[in-house]
Structure 1
Amino acid sequence: MRRRIRFLQPLVWSAAACLIGLAPVAVAADDKPEFPEHAKVLEGFDKVASPTKADGTAEKPLWTLWTRSKDGQMYAELPSGFAAQQYFVALTVASGEEFAGLQAGDLYVKFRRYDKVLAVIAPNVDVRTTEKEAKASVERLFTDRVLMEIPIVTIGPGGGPVIDMDALCVGNASQFFQGLSLSRSTPRIFSIKQAKAFTENVEVAFEVPGSGGQLKTLHYSFSVLTPSPGFKPRDADQRVGYFTTAYSDYGKYESDETRIRYITRWHLEKADPKLQLSPPKEPIVFYVEHTTPVRYRRWVKEGILAWNKAFEKIGIEDAIQVEYQDAGTGRHMDKDPEDVRYNFVRWLNNDIGTAIGPSRINPETGEILDADIILTDGWIRHFQMQFDKVMPKVAMQGMGPETLAWLAEHPSWDPRVRFAEPGDRAHVAAAIARQAFDPLAGHAAGSVGTEMMGDDQFDGLIGTGVQRNGLCLAANEKGAELAALRMELAMRAFDKKELKKKKAEEAKAKAESEAKKEAADGEDDAEKKDEDPAEDGEEQPDEEAESPEKDDDADEDEAQLLDGMPESFIGPQLAHLVAHEVGHTLGLRHNFKATAVSRFDEINGGTGLIATSVMDYTPINIRFHAGEKQGAYAMEGIGPYDVWAIEYGYVADAKELPKLLAKSTEPELAFGTDEDTSGPDPFARRYDFGSDPLTYAKDQMELINDRRTKLLEAFVEDGDGWFKAREGYEMTLSMQMRQLGMMSNWVGGVFVRRDVKGQEGAKPPLSVVEAKDQREALEFVIENSFRDGAYGLTPELLSHLTTAKWMDGNGWQSAMSDSVFPVHDRIEGMQASVMTQLLNPTVLRRVYDNELQVPAGEDAFTLPELLETVRTAVWTELVKAPEGDFSPRKPMISSLRRNLQREHVSRLIDLSLPGAGNGAAFKPISNLASMQLKEIADELGTFLKEHGDRADAYTKAHLMEAESMIRKALDAEYIYNANEIGGSSGRPMIIFGNEPAAANRR
């Protein structure tokens, strides 16, 4: 009531004054201006000059900038028509991180004024429609999103609002750079690193301390986002692999029409459409940053320009061009790599093996606006094997969410646990168990970031569909490949030396033999001196022995070396890597089916392709029998799939697209990408090789076995520490694991195709791998993992597999590990991982389901056959008892085989327990596992009765324990144990030796 009275009082007084004839009293008004004068606000600031035109006048900047260097203050005046503009904000951490220079995300925003503040708003682009009736509803339901607000400081000379740029870019840095954490204790410590105003864009950067105090430079590139005239979005198709930008159109009512997907591509067109081959209107120009070593620049350029072959197919010549930035001459040094107008290839000296080709796109059309390729130097250096990090990644290839869910509840099956150092296993298992509650059971595709780069190939893909910042593993794996190549070169040099030595010895022996023969025949020495050396047969062999070898490798010793590697090896590898990343910047995704078109002998005979696409991960082509025919070590240029994919994405006439897509059934145009690698198709794999991978795998195992015999002689040179032998041996284990993983994927395999109904040459989308191929693959895996001889172990080799002892840098990990090679843990980890690859529920379910896909009367690989084949290979000793006398020094069953058998029993127990799996296939799996356990227990009992007396103590104790534990499991005697690997889950389990088997009863 009092408020109402106060409100009415002025009206009463004014009315009273009128009644008595007095002039009304004026109500006091606030004459204070809305904002302070810009002249006062900008006093002490320097206006940032704009570039000058050809006539000497300054260009009109997008925003006008003012800076005050003493305290890092920066103001910007937006144009008066700012509300009608949409802005693209490109973000880069320019310094202070190992991946500084890598694109750190982007935003699509607009500014809207609310009294004295501007709101930074992200327009809704996820749901939209062009349907007239639905548009009003969609716009009402799916609105824009406010990201932040920024005060208006004043109205500038041009009539636009002036905002505080350091408040925007420093104060809100953590909102722009997702995941970035700045120092809270030093909020006033920042400085301006860059302020440039151009007609099309504004480039600003601030140096700030991160949460750990390390100075970081945060670079912002602001530009107006306007559609390119003439650019038309192009529909995506699952038969050709492009990154996409997508939205939902809720004005449509057909379920397959509501999701609109456009491929990401550049606006590239002919300068003269009438010409059959024309230059482009605007070429795609890549600037090779001046940090790139001069010795590598030509190979970087070669990799970039390789794609011009594809664009020439659609009539565009020199579509991609390369310029070198040069600090010495100043050439192109005025161009900032972070500037959204320029595409750069950047070189980072961070000792990490990574390469990535992210791009920035218009989220409404899919047009690529900017791309920057990052190359790091670590993959070129000598590869240092971190066994516990590399081996799990190799062994986990192809495992999808279903398998990960199983592993989370059965940590003793998990390669990530089994390859971890014993002291880290509980920690690793606990982390895996937590991940199981994430989407897709912790699979990388369900929990990776959408903006910042992490350590998985799906980063930047999920939720966006475009590789904005996804990690490409091409360089990471290439480091391992180059390490193997370094070892191979050392071995070949050793082999050449040994061959020369052998020839010299043979020549010497031949000469001595002939000399003795001549002496016995009584030939005169003087007569021999008169003979022609060329006809004599004595001197010539010695001269040959001393002369250089005349073979294919004759020039390798004198070849140009780049960082310890022949340029003929490292150059093409770098060009291949660059071409791969350029492919990403052109919009292309990985194609992991590209190595499945040519046989191994065709590749090395010069008649076949290493791969049909540079977008695959291809291993270096090192052939054991290189003397027969050794093809190119790396793929050169791009392949037919790449040409076809570019044609689909960039051909001018959209009417050509159906005809192009119709070709997808051709073998050379097969496509499978990242998400396919966890599926059943054995050809959709990283680092497989050839259409007959079994031939390749056998050749690689011959290579591995040969190289192991020469590690101590050839790989470790005089003056080297013996830890190098351990690095070399573990490298061969990694190579071996890759072959085992590649071939185990054939068991339960199904070929998956993307053909559509009615397409000429189309085949069913699913077809089971032939039974004979599955059997051969299984035989290879068993032969090269379950046998003791598969690992090339000798007492001499083991006595040299030690570690380096340095406590600085990353060396402390090696220094704190045991000097003695953990041979049983390593081999058990390999065998356990193979067992997981063959017997995990996903594979068993696929084998079981595949039986129904094979027509009656045709040969099929069945679930009982798989389980029985594995069982027979594991328990060979029970089928035919070893003969001879045995002791702990000469056991009846070796220690490695005992570990293998213990693993097998543990797996069968897990599979047999009630509630240990879900799905219709699990009951027959459980029944078969229980049946095998009963049979093994009976065989163990019989074996102990007949041969137990002559068995050594190790073997006898092992067999007795195995029989006992199987019978306990079959009798359902469960023991709760809080010390299971992975933590105290409280789940029922059976203790089998030192490895408890989880019984996961629900």
Structure 2
Amino acid sequence: MKTVFLLLCSLTILPCTSVRAQKTTPKKPPAIEAKTEGLQKMDGYFDFWYSDDEGKIYLEVERMDEEFLYVNSLAAGLGSNDIGLDRNQLGNTRVVSFHRVGPKVLLKQRNLDYRAMSDNPDEVASVRDAFAQSTIAGFKVVAKTGDAVLIDLTPLLLSDAHGVVSKLKRSKQGNYKVDANRSAVYLDRTKNFPKNSEFEASLTFTGEATGRQLRSVTPTSGAFTLRMHHSFVELPDENYTPRTFDPRSGYYARSYADYATPIDQPLVKRFITRHRLEKKDPSAKMSEPVEPIVYYLDRGAPEPVKSALLEGASWWNQAYEAAGYKNAFQVKVLPEGADPMDVRYNVINWVHRSTRGWSYGSSVTDPRTGEIIKGHVLLGSLRVRQDFLLAQGLIPAYADGVTPDPRLEEMALARLRQLSAHEVGHTIGLAHNFAASTNDRASVMDYPHPYITLKNGEVDFSQAYAVGIGEWDKRAIMYGYTDFPEGTDESAALDQILNENDRLGLKYISDSDARPAGSMQPDAHLWENGTDPIEEMDRLMDLREHALNNFGMDNIPDGMPVSELEKVLVPVYLMHRYQVEALAKQIGGYHYTYAVKTKGQGNSVRPVAADRQKAAVDMLLKSMSPAALALNEKLLGLIPPSAMGYSRDRELFKTHNGGAFDPLAMAETAADNNLKFLLHHHRLARIAEQHALFPDFSDDDKSLSKYLEYAGERIHAQLKATGAGSYPNQVAQIVEKRYVAHLLQAAANTGASEQVRAAALGELLRLKNIFNDWKDPKGANGAHYVYLTQQIDQFITDPASVKITQAPALPDGSPIGCGGLH
């Protein structure tokens, strides 16, 4: 029995010993004071410490579940316009809060796109729980004192918060990752203030470059370093009142779905984005603001650029004066030592890239209300050189061989003033207004083509760009920023401003109705001037002809390779490229506005008058005639292939002849640009539509088939009018080949309406009959007709077998020295 007892005890004791060995007691975190002893402390919105030995940032979190703004940005960029990772580029703005769960602290983002604006907490919770929230980061508690905890913020700071890796992958530049061993906190730009905490880190990305763009801007493409900035910002107080968005107002809209809205009201709520601005005396017609809006210019902008940018941005004070404010908008140079990414500063940044590109106006905005907290402009520095180049081709710019005509720089700086005002306009809440050119350049929020004229046979630059803020801009600021006296019916007062805009004839059309190639709005376009696009095209073609006739060696300085003349010639030859698109919008176009319902309102959509549509067609055909597209004899032998050490790039025309200057390829490219708009399938569909739906407007001569037949006959007549084998004859052949190519494309386009495809096929068959009468291979233009007939026959027999030839692409155009898009 004794032996058995001992055995049982052994069996009992051994498992107990094993269980005790597996138990661990969680280690209690040290006090914050103990953990941070000897570390560099930075007091501010969130107190934090820097450990030099560890290279870490330790953040104290006292206020759990209290919301604040988290903004990430890119402080030092890549320098490639194509990739789009610029110095001082803003990233995302989120409303976040820290939330503690045991030993963890989570950084959570609230979903503000779906809300319930209700006093009922259960209703609020039901919407919150119906849509996903986001947890951005998680941290371990490393120290604790009372309710306050200390977390290691460094992993967040060293993460790819700006999405560099995904952007490089999307642009096919390579697969990269952050190398922690080559990344560190950047203490020079890590600072703390009472209402914002600013952090920065230097991140090294390693991988293998697969794209030329990345390799072109990095010293070693396998490992390149950028800097990322992180801002924790106190949310604004609740004294700001959002202002209602109206589609006629000219502002960007922020919106959210409010599920507490009564059934008979719209679910989506929309309000404008704007800075907080209040009068000291709202009852006064003119009052100083409680706090002015102040913008700061990048200290890296050189003279005379700096003065031009300061002047252009300052124009906005004219608009605020019209809204009843005195000195409400101010522009200064950024104080020495100030960080442009600090959210306390509205900044106009002067940004360098390896190639020219867009400028941008963006902002840090409270997602809850639309209040702009920080306006932030990025201006591409190479854009000013493009305007200089536009002017250089129009006159003998280097008549003495060395010193450029001063008008070149004057025009470039005039554009910079307008560009500065344009991009700042975005950061105070305004969208583009591409109809402003029809109202005597009524807004800096349009994209202006330089308005250069001929006076007594001389080129005149004096009106190239408008000076000062426009009438539309003043009215828009009145809508967004007027501080109405107490007791004012704000809704009625805002509506009165918009109705007055209509009475003044101030048109407003923005991006979605102006940018698409097949868009129908005849009053809004990018890079054009004047109230009548037909007259403006005629005027531009005269200016272009004058410039081409006078183009020569004096357009470049002494010592420059003669081959570089082509870069100066390109914008002259394509001076009309944007007016082509503006002109085409008259064809199949409809007049309309962003009207809202009012009593007694009639039809708000009407077709462009038939005679104007025909005039637009005639002008488009004229601008791709041999007379328009052929160069003069002097230019044909002037420009050699690229000199040693220089090369063809995307600013030049593509060629068919092996890389030399190619006047025939130039003509093909320009003609194809015209035909792309003339025969866009949306435009053709509207021509058929207008013929059917508006009988008083149209007749049998305005049908789609007649439209195509008219264009085809005019193009064919241009060919027959030229001498066989001549330069104009070759240009005319090219135009007709491109016309047939576009018809084949329309007939084969499954995304086009069947009316369009049928009409295109009918025109091809009509042309085939004409070509058959002329296709003797030994006759004039014989090979041309044989080729086109064979193309049409093959398409009729087996449409899928026809590979439609593409014309050489246009050289880079936008931006030609103009403001940009968010």
CA 1:573–1:794: 2 relative to 1, 3 Å: closer
Q: Using a 3 Å threshold, how does the CA distance of structure 1 residues 122 and 175 change in structure 2: closer, same or farther?
A: farther
Q: Structure 1 residues 268-277 or 768-777, which shifts more?
A: 268-277
- Could you say which residue in structure 2 is the equivalent of 1:129? 116
Q: Which amino acid aligns with 1:267?
A: R
**SS of aligned partner of 1:669:** coil
Matched, 1:324 2:333: yes
Whether 1:147 aligns to 2:144 is no
Confirm whether residue 160 of structure 1 aligns to residue 148 of structure 2: yes
**Residues 802 and 819, structure 1, Cα contact 8 Å, conserved in 2:** no
Deviation at 1:246, TM superposition (A): 0.8
- CA–CA distance in structure 2, aligned partners of residues 206 and 993 of structure 1: 50
Alpha-carbon distance in 1 for matches of 2:337, 2:806: 65
List per-residue Cα deviations over 1:23-82 (Å, max 9, x = no partner).
xxx99997765313434432442223x4xxxxxxxxxx2222211224421111122xx1
Answer yes or no: is 1:67 the counterpart of 2:70: no
User: 1:744, 1:281 → 2: CA distance?
Assistant: 49
Asked if 1 retains the 8 angstrom alpha-carbon contact of 2:434 and 2:525, the reply is yes
Secondary structure in 1 aligned to 2:87?
coil
Range with greater deviation from structure 2 (862-871 or 134-143): 134-143
Alignment counterpart, residue 741 of structure 2, candidates 892, 901, 906? 906
Distance in 2 (alpha carbons) for counterparts of 1:993 and 1:338:
49
The CA deviation string for residues 897-947 of structure 1, in whole angstroms up to 9 with x for no partner, is 22332333334344446xx4356x523x34433433333333333345xxx
Deviation at 1:228, TM superposition (A): 4.3
SS in 1 for 2:801: strand
Match of 1:415 in 2: none
Distance 1:792 1:965, change over 3 A: closer
Spell out, residue by residue over 1:532-563, the C-alpha distance to the aligned partner (whole angstroms, 9 max, x if none).
Answer: xxxxxxxxxxxxxxxxxxxxxxxxx999x5xx
Residue among 93, 96, 104 paired with 1:109 = 96
Shift in alpha-carbon separation, 1:185–1:665, aligned structure 2, 3 A: closer
Q: Retained in 2: the 8 A contact 1:72–1:192?
A: no
Partner of 2:689: 849
Task: Please give the alpha-carbon distance, in whole angstroms, between the structure 2 residues aligned to 1:942 and 1:648.
Answer: 65
Q: Which amino acid aligns with 1:866?
A: Y
Contact 1:128 1:247 in 2 (8 A): yes
**Alpha-carbon distance in structure 2 between the residues aligned to 1:304 and 1:750:** 35
Task: Indicate the residue corresponding to 2:216 in structure 1.
Answer: none
Does 1:951 pair with 2:779? Answer: yes
Rounded Cα–Cα distance in structure 2 between residues aligned with 1:75 and 1:675: 47
Aligned-residue sequence identity (percent) comes to 23
Which of 597, 619, 622 pairs up with 1:757?
597
Distance (Å, rounded) in 1 between the aligned partners of 2:41 and 2:199:
14
The corresponding residue for 1:406 is none
The Cα of 1:347 is off from its aligned counterpart by: 1.6
In the alignment, structure 1 residue 92 sits paired with structure 2 residue 73: yes
Q: CA deviation at 1:835?
A: 2.0
- Counterpart CA distance in 1 for 2:803 and 2:232 is 62
Q: Which residue of 2 aligns with 1:336?
A: 339
Question: In 2, distance between residues paired with 1:992 and 1:343?
Answer: 51
What one-letter code is carried by the residue in structure 1 that aligns with 2:666? R
CA-CA distance at 1:172 after TM superposition: 6.0
Query: Which has the larger share of strand?
Result: 2
Structure 1 residue corresponding to 2:476, chosen from 640, 645, 657: 645
Residue 213 of structure 2 corresponds to which residue in structure 1?
A: none
Structure 1 segments unaligned to the other structure (5+ residues): 1-8, 14-25, 51-60, 326-331, 382-478, 498-556, 598-608, 976-987, 996-1002
Q: Tell me the amino acid that sits aligned with residue 729 of structure 2.
A: S
TM-score under structure 1 normalisation? 0.69
Q: How many Å separate the matches in 1 of 2:160 and 2:635? A: 58
Distance 1:965 1:792 in 2: 26
Corresponding residue for residue 169 of structure 1: 157
CA contact 1:358–1:585 (8 Å) conserved in 2: yes
Provide Cα deviations, 1:373-395, integer angstroms capped at 9, x if missing partner.
222320122xxxxxxxxxxxxxx
Provide the secondary structure at the position in 1 that maps to 2:773.
helix
Q: Deviations over 1:445-503 (max 9, x none)?
A: xxxxxxxxxxxxxxxxxxxxxxxxxxxxxxxxxx3x44222222436x86xx9xxxxxx
**Alignment-mate amino acid for residue 145 of structure 1:** S
In structure 2, which of residues 190, 195, 217 is the aligned counterpart of residue 195 of structure 1?
Answer: 190
Aligned with 2:423: secondary structure? helix
Counterparts in 2 of 1:102 and 1:810: CA distance versus 1, 3 Å: farther
Secondary structure class of the residue paired with 1:735? coil
Taking the aligned partners of 2:651 and 2:308, their CA distance within structure 1 comes to 35
Distance 1:918 1:334 in 2: 56
Q: Alpha carbon RMSD of aligned pairs, Å?
A: 3.5
Q: Does 1:34 align with 2:28?
A: yes
Q: Aligned equivalents of 1:303 and 1:763: distance in 2?
A: 41
Superposed displacement of residue 782, structure 1? 0.5
- Residue 265 (structure 1) aligns with: 274
Distance 1:651 1:207 in 2: 43
Q: Which has the larger radius of gyration?
A: 1
Is 1:789 the counterpart of 2:627 in the alignment? Answer: yes
The yes-or-no answer on 1:583 pairing with 2:593 is: no
Deviation by residue 1:420-450 (Cα, 9 ceiling, x = unmatched): xxxxxxxxxxxxxxxxxxxxxxxxxxxxxxx
Give per-residue Cα distances to partners, 1:737-779, cap 9 Å, x unaligned: 223222122211111212223268x663211111111111111
Give the AA of the match of 1:314.
Answer: A
CA contact (8 A) 2:587 2:687 kept: yes
The yes-or-no answer on 1:242 pairing with 2:251 is yes
Task: Tell me the residue number matched to 1:53.
Answer: none
- Which residue matches 1:928? 759
Q: CA deviation at 1:199?
A: 1.5
Is contact 2:103–2:141 with CA below 8 Å preserved after alignment? yes
Cα distance in 2 for residues equivalent to 1:291 and 1:743: 41
CA distance in 2, matches of 1:816, 1:870: 27
CA distance in 2, matches of 1:865, 1:963: 21
CA distance in 2: counterparts of 1:993 and 1:257, whole angstroms = 50
Structure 1 position 624 matched with structure 2 position 454 = yes
Q: Take 1:934 and 1:203, find their aligned partners in 2: how far apart are those partners? A: 69
1:227 aligned to which of 228, 237, 262: 237
Q: Which residue of 2 aligns with 1:348?
A: 351
Measured in 2, the distance between the counterparts of 1:27 and 1:378 equals 70
| Residues 90 and 222, structure 1, Cα contact 8 Å, conserved in 2 | yes
Q: Could you list the runs of 5+ residues in structure 2 that have no partner in the other structure?
A: 1-11, 80-85, 169-174, 207-221, 485-489, 808-822
Post-superposition offset of 1:637: 1.1
Alignment equivalent of 1:798, drawn from 636, 642, 650: 636
Distance 1:573 1:266, change over 3 A: same
The answer as to 2:735 corresponding to 1:735 is no
| Residue pairs, 1:536-547, within 5 angstroms | none
Q: Secondary structure at the match of 2:802?
A: strand
- Deviation of residue 96 (structure 1)? 4.1
Indicate how the Cα distance of structure 1 residues 125 and 296 shifts in structure 2: closer, same or farther if over 3 A, else same.
same
Higher mean C-alpha deviation, range 662-671 or range 776-785: 662-671
Is 1:779–2:760 an aligned residue pair?
no
State the distance in 2 between where 1:763 and 1:309 align.
36
- Report the more deviating stretch, 245-254 or 680-689: 245-254
Cα distance change on mapping 1:134 and 1:710 into 2, 3 Å: same
* Matches of 1:32 and 1:857, distance apart in 2: 84
Residues 882 and 674 of structure 1: CA distance in aligned 2, closer, same or farther (over 3 Å): closer
1:291 aligns with 2:286: no
Within 2, Cα distance between the matches of 1:853 and 1:739?
A: 29
Deviation at 1:122, TM superposition (A): 0.6
SS in 2 for 1:705: helix
Inter-partner Cα distance in structure 2 for 1:136 and 1:269: 35
Give 1:621 deviation, angstroms: 1.0
SS at match of 1:937: helix
| Equivalent pair of 1:125/1:364 in contact (CA under 8 Å) | yes
Give the 3-state SS of the residue equivalent to 1:121 in structure 2.
strand
**Aligned residue number for residue 453 of structure 1:** none
Is the contact between residue 111 and residue 120 of structure 1 (CA under 8 Å) also seen in structure 2?
A: yes
SS at match of 1:204: strand
1:592 to 434, 458, 461: 434
Rounded to whole Å, the distance in 2 between the matches of 1:816 and 1:241 is 39
The partner residue of 2:319 within 310, 315, 321 is: 310
Give per-residue Cα distances to partners, 1:702-729, cap 9 Å, x unaligned.
Answer: 1111211222243244433222321233
Please report the TM-score for the alignment, with normalisation by the length of structure 2: 0.83
Quick one: structure 1 residues 759 and 69, their matched pair in 2 at CA, closer, same or farther if it must change by over 3 Å? Answer: farther
Partner of 2:228: 218
Give the match's secondary structure for 2:181.
Answer: coil
